[in-house]
Structure 1
Amino acid sequence: MRKAQDNYVLDLAQNRKGLALNRMCGSLKHAENRKRFSEDEAAYCDAYGLSAEQKQAILDRDWTGMLDLGASIFYTFKLAMMDQKSMQYLGGVFTGMTTEEFAAALRSGGRKFG
């Protein structure tokens, strides 16, 4: 997987771009929706009107691709939880680290700026 860019900002334009994607991921907070999603992921994506690119990113679990397509990490995490992935896992994906490396970086004080 490729590393995410360092400056994702969920501004109004990105929010609009990812509206369907974020709604779909957000819907996974309900058990019945998680069940429906698990039964047919592609059809579930279609029901939310995802673009072809957004749908493919979901099906491929292309986490950085989802961000490029307007996803919010907070909604994307609901999908990651479906795959039993932690926030540390996603942090690793987005920084080009393993989950363990990312967790160790957090324990040591995280990324330093300056």
Structure 2
Amino acid sequence: MNRPKDYDDIPGTYVFDGSHHRKGYALNMFCKSLDLAENREAFRRDPLGYLQRHPMTEQQHAAVMQREWLEMLRLGGNIYYTFKLAIFDGLSMQQAGAAMSGNGMSLEAFQKMMLDGGRSIVGNRSKKEQMHG
């Protein structure tokens, strides 16, 4: 049973706790498998066939195939593991960060946001704050 936690109210945050770990285990093990050259080659040759080796949910498979980075995090992905897939695709950490920031943030906008101190806390403290101002 997943009881609400204080951090569930933080918008855009997917805390990698025990329940999130269990939800994303197969997704993260797929990403981890890309550490090995033979697995990267197998995935490159037959992405769908290679994904079938990993018991992910349909939503996780779709997120991987469509490279929906933020969705992978929502579905239990750990940023350090999903970054292995980003590396496979030739993305830098900043490019992956921009993609995981949502709203189609460009690399340049992401870099500027980071140089300016990160995402503003205004409107990002809680989901309730976003709903009620």
**Do they fold alike, i.e. is TM over 0.5?**
yes
Structure 1: which 5+ runs fail to align? Answer: none
Large movers: runs of 4+ above 6 Å: none
Greater Cα offset, 88-97 or 31-40: 88-97
Structure 2: which 5+ runs fail to align? Answer: 1-10, 123-133
What per-residue deviation string (whole Å, max 9, x for no partner) do you get for residues 9-32 of structure 1?
Answer: 011111000000000001101111
1:16 aligns with 2:44: no
Query: Structure 2: how far apart are the matches of 1:106 and 1:16?
Result: 31
Greater helix proportion: 1
Higher relative contact order (CA 8 A, sep 6+): 1
RMSD (Å), alpha carbons? 1.6
Aligned identity (percent) is 41
TM-score by length of 1: 0.87
1:73 aligns with 2:83: no
TM-score by length of 2: 0.75
Report the equivalent of 1:92.
Answer: 98
Which of 91, 111, 116 aligns to 1:108? It is 116
Report the equivalent of 2:66.
Answer: 60
* Deviation, structure 1 residue 85: 1.1
* Deviation, structure 1 residue 94: 2.5
